[in-house]
Amino acid sequence: MAFLDNSGDIILDAVLTDLGRKRLAQGNFRISKFALGDDEIDYTLYNRNHPSGSAFFDLEIMQTPILEAFTKTNANINYGLMSLTRTDLLYLPVLKANSLVNSSAKTTSSVYYFAVNSETATKLNTAHSSSVYVLQSDQATSTAIYVESGLDTTTLTGDTTNRNSYIVNTNLLDSSYSIYADSRLIAGVMVPPASGYFRNMTDGTAEINMTPLTTVAASSTTPVLTNYNTFGAPGINNEVTFNSLVAATTISAIAGPRGSATAMNFSVASELAATSTGGRSSLYDLYGSVDQTIFGGSEKYDYIDTTIYVEGSVSTARIQLPLRIIRYAGT
């Protein structure tokens, strides 16, 4: 692994992936399409106040160190660029996790705690003095992770008119989501029914029901993420709108017009779900930590940290959800 010297001319560094070399050896290698990405670029380096003038505004971006191309399929572009034919789009949707809804999961030190069984959930609820910080495997009506799609800007009022103008009519409404989870750790994803609703009333109070969550099977593997499966989730119309009595941002994580929302919980791989009197899975030793007194005292826990990825079907906006799969291991 090395950096390319891009201090002067633009360099094109092309290598064949492992699959490409295999196809070349078989005599059926053919380039049929390409994709562009900007994973390594920090656009905040664009400096409109550069003392040398506009020709130097993007100098630091153009001279950003770029890694050489990798041969692994999933190592080069994690966040591909979009192709949009419209030239009048002023805003694009983002995905944000919602921790404002009563039944939404809250993070602990920026991590969602996911209990593999009821014994662990009880211990964690006691440690946190609340159940809102704990997800429990296979639970359909309790705490869940909520994700919203919309325009996170205060420039546009989050009302129905702007929702239609800037999201619906521009074909940027995420009517569904793809959820990517590690197949070694997560057996299934639980998603809301299509009949769910996410809105506020005329008096500003929340009216939200995304349950019961139902388990969906993986629709495919994820080619750019090794060992990850893809699960589909419906996008529920996000009808939280501006209200003069109660700020919509007390319900929604999105500051401007809102598109859709979804919710999720997970089913842990069965071998990770043993109670403290059962056998510990070797996966905890292999991928995580064991016998950790993370809350102090004598109670020990085994855990594995993983990441759940959620992507809007139309906007292709993506969010990463850090998940700690945790098991009470005794004292």
> What is the band of 328 on the pLDDT scale with cuts at 50, 70, 90?
very high
Q: What is the pLDDT of residue 70?
A: 77
Q: Are 199 and 273 in contact (CB under 8 A)?
A: no
Residue 224 has pLDDT above 80, yes or no: no
Mean pLDDT of 260-266: 98
- How far is Cα 154 from Cα 257, in angstroms, rounded to an integer? 9
Q: Are 99 and 249 in contact (CB under 8 A)?
A: no
Q: What is the pLDDT of residue 16?
A: 86
Residue 1 has pLDDT above 60, yes or no: no
Tens digits of residue pLDDT in 102-130: 999 999 999 999 999 999 999 999 999 98
- How far is Cα 147 from Cα 143, in angstroms, rounded to an integer? 13
Q: Which of 144, 136, 135 is nearest to 310 (CA)?
A: 144
Q: Are 248 and 152 in contact (CB under 8 A)?
A: no
Q: What is the pLDDT of residue 3?
A: 72
Torsion of CA 125, 128, 130, 131, to 10 degrees: -40
Relative to beta strand 112-115, strand 318-330 is parallel
